C-alpha cells in the first residue's frame, strides 16, 4: 500500500489529514488485498484533494472501483454541508447522470429464440456510436419538457408506462432542475441526441439471470433464475457534456471570487447558496433529467422490439430500477449523531439506500433500493440491495462498476476488436458495435474483475448481493 495510507479494517483504508495540505477531513476508501495492486497513487491524491474542499463532512470517500479520474477520483463520494458547503462539477463529471437501468422480460434462456436477429433489431432501433442522431424530432418546447420533467416527460409523451416512474432513482426527475441555466450550445447538442446510446463504455446488453443469492429480494425485484433481462447504460450525451464545460468555466471564476483555494482546477466550485452554485446545480439537475428521459426513450424502443418479435406486451416487461452514477443531490444523512441536509456528490458511484429510506417505492421498502452494477463486456453484472450500513458508512452509496485497469492506449496495442469479438463468440456472447475499434477499447481484460468489486461491497455490507446476470449479447456504443 502507498506510504501514508493506514489500514483501518480488513477492507478499509484511511488517508489521514495532512496527506495533502489543507485537508479538512480524512479520506477513506474500501479495497480488498486482491484489488490493492490496481490502486493508482493519482487516485489517492484525488481522494485527498476532495477532502480540502469547504464544507465537506465526515470523510472524502471512495468505493472499491476507485481509479484515477479528474477532480474527484472515479468511485468518489463526498457530502457537503448545505450551509457551509460547495458544489463542484469535478464531483459529477462531464457525463451528468450517466446511469444504468435493467428491464425484465418473460423470456427465459431456454425460450429465447433468434438471438442474433434480436441483437440486430435492437441495434437498428437504438442509435449508437459517434455521431448517431435520434429519430425523434424534438421541438425546443419538448426539450424544455425533457429538462424540467425527465422520465415523467418521456412517459407523458408515450415512451413508457406510469409505473416506470417509481422504479427510477428520484422518480426520474430532479425537481430543482433549472432549464434556463442550460446554454443554447448545450441545447443544440442535446436536441438531436435524445434517445441515443452514445459511445465509450455505454452499452445495451441482453443478459440472463444465472445466480440468485437472496431469493426474497430477487422476488421483490421481479427477477428469477434463467430470466432474460435487458440492461441499458448511458447518460446525458452532448447536452450534459456541454453543461459541465460551460459551468466549469463559470465556477473557475467563482472559485476566485469566493477566495476558495483548491489543489486541482477541475475541482472548481462555489458555495451551494451562491448564484453560481445554484446555477450549476439547476443546470446539472436539468441534464440529469435529460439522461433519465433518454434511458426511458431507449427502453421504450427495446420494449417495442421485443413486442414486435415475440408478441410480449409492454406490461409484461418491468423496469427493475434505474440508478444514476454521476450526480450531486440534496439528501438527509446522520452526521455525528445529528440528521442534516447535505449535498452528496457521487462520481462513478451508486446510491444504495437501505430499507425504509425515502424515495423508495412501496415494493422495495423492506428490501432496500435495487443497486445495479454493470460488469464489463464479457463479465457478469450484478443486482444488489441498498443497506442500513451504507446509510451509516457511505452516505447511502456503493460502487458503480468494475473500474478500468488498462489504458486505452495499451488495450489498442495488445488487443484487436476482432480478437475480442472471437473470444467472446467462443463463450456464446454476441457483439454488435458500429466499429471494431470500440470493441477493443472496452474488452473484458481492461477492467477489474467485477465479481471481486461486488464481493468487497457485499462483505462490507454497503450493499448486499441479490442476483448475478451474464451477458448473452452486447451492443457497444
Which residues here bind other proteins, judged by CB under 8 A? Answer: 40, 46, 67-71, 74, 90, 93-95, 129-132, 185, 188-189, 198-200, 238, 241-242, 244-245, 248-249, 252-253, 264-266, 268, 404-410, 434-438, 441, 477
Q: Smaller CB distance to other proteins: residue 95 or 178?
A: 95
State the residue for C-alpha cell 454541508.
81
CA distance 341 to 164: 28
Active-site positions read 400
- With respect to other proteins, which residue has the nearer C-beta, 2 or 406? 406
Smallest CA-to-CA distance from 307 within 230, 359, 372, 234 is with 230
CB 374 → other proteins: shortest distance, Å?
16
Report the residue number, 62 or 268, with the smaller CB distance to other proteins.
Answer: 268
| Dihedral angle of Cα 87, 173, 221, 304, to the nearest 10 degrees | -130
Q: Check: CB of residue 452 under 8 Å from CB of residue 398.
A: no
CB of 356 to other proteins, least distance (A): 35
Closer Cβ to other proteins, 163 or 407, answer by number: 407
CB of 173 to other proteins, least distance (A): 23
What distance lies between CA 160 and its chain's CA centroid?
A: 21
Query: Least CB distance from residue 195 to other proteins, whole Å?
Result: 16
As measured in angstroms, the least distance from the Cβ of 36 to other proteins is 15
- 106: Cβ contacts below 8 Å, ≥ 6 apart: 312, 316, 317
Grid look-up 483555494 returns: 261
Which lies closer to other proteins via its Cβ, residue 68 or residue 213? 68
Residue 437 C-beta: closest distance to other proteins, Å? 5
Determine contact, residues 136/327, Cβ cutoff 8 Å: no
CA distance 119 to 109: 15
Q: Which is nearer to other proteins, 50 or 389 (CB)?
A: 50
Judged by beta carbon, residue 115 or residue 185, the one nearer other proteins is 185
Could you tell me the smallest distance in angstroms from the CB atom of residue 130 to other proteins? Answer: 4
The smaller minimum CB distance to other proteins, of residues 46 and 376, is found at 46
Give least dist CB 409 to other proteins, A. Answer: 5
Amino acid at each position: 500500500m502507498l506510504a501514508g495510507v493506514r489500514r483501518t479494517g480488513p477492507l478499509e483504508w484511511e488517508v489521514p489529514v495532512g496527506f495533502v495540505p489543507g485537508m479538512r477531513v480524512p479520506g477513506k476508501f474500501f479495497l480488498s488485498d486482491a484489488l490493492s495492486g490496481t490502486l493508482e497513487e493519482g487516485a489517492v491524491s484525488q481522494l485527498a484533494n476532495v477532502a480540502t474542499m469547504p464544507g465537506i463532512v465526515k470523510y472524502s470517500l471512495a468505493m472499491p472501483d476507485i481509479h484515477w479520474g479528474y477532480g474527484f477520483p472515479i468511485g468518489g463520494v463526498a457530502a457537503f454541508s448545505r450551509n457551509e458547503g460547495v458544489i463542484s462539477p469535478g464531483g459529477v463529471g462531464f457525463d451528468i447522470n450517466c446511469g444504468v437501468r435493467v428491464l425484465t422480460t418473460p423470456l427465459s434462456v431456454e425460450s429465447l429464440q433468434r438471438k442474433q436477429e434480436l441483437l440486430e433489431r435492437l441495434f437498428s432501433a437504438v442509435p449508437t456510436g459517434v455521431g448517431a442522431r435520434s429519430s425523434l424530432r424534438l421541438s425546443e418546447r419538448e426539450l424544455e419538457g425533457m429538462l424540467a420533467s425527465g422520465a415523467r416527460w418521456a412517459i407523458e409523451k408515450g415512451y413508457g408506462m406510469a409505473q416506470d416512474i417509481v422504479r427510477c432513482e428520484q422518480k426520474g426527475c430532479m425537481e430543482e432542475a433549472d432549464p434556463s441555466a442550460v446554454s443554447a450550445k448545450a441545447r443544440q447538442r442535446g436536441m438531436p441526441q435524445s434517445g441515443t446510446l452514445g459511445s465509450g463504455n455505454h452499452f445495451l446488453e441482453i443478459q440472463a439471470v444465472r445466480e440468485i443469492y437472496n431469493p426474497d429480494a430477487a422476488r421483490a425485484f421481479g427477477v428469477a433464475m434463467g430470466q432474460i433481462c435487458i440492461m441499458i447504460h448511458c447518460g446525458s450525451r452532448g447536452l450534459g457534456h456541454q453543461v459541465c464545460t460551460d459551468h466549469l468555466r463559470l465556477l473557475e471564476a467563482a472559485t476566485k471570487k469566493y477566495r476558495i483555494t483548491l489543489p486541482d482546477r477541475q475541482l472548481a466550485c462555489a458555495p451551494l447558496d451562491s448564484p453560481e452554485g445554484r446555477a450549476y446545480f439547476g443546470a446539472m439537475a436539468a441534464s440529469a433529467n435529460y439522461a433519465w428521459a433518454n434511458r426511458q426513450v431507449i427502453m421504450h424502443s427495446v420494449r417495442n422490439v421485443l413486442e414486435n418479435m415475440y408478441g410480449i406486451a409492454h406490461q409484461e416487461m418491468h423496469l427493475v430500477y434505474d440508478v444514476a452514477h454521476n450526480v450531486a443531490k440534496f439528501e438527509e444523512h446522520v452526521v455525528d449523531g445529528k440528521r442534516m441536509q447535505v449535498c452528496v456528490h457521487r462520481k462513478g458511484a451508486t446510491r444504495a439506500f437501505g430499507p425504509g429510506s425515502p424515495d423508495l417505492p412501496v415494493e422495495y421498502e423492506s428490501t432496500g433500493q435495487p443497486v445495479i452494477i454493470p460488469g464489463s463486456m464479457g463479465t457478469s453484472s450484478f443486482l444488489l440491495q441498498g443497506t442500513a450500513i451504507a446509510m451509516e458508512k457511505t452516505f447511502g452509496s456503493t460502487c458503480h462498476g468494475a473500474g478500468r485497469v488498462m489504458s486505452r492506449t495499451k488495450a489498442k496495442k495488445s488487443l484487436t476488436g476482432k480478437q475480442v469479438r472471437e473470444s467472446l463468440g467462443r463463450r456464446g456472447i454476441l457483439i454488435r458495435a458500429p466499429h471494431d475499434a470500440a470493441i477493443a477499447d472496452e474488452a473484458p481484460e481492461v477492467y477489474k474483475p467485477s465479481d471481486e468489486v461486488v464481493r468487497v461491497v457485499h462483505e462490507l455490507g454497503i450493499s448486499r448481493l441479490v442476483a448475478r446476470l451474464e451477458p448473452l449479447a452486447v451492443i457497444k456504443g
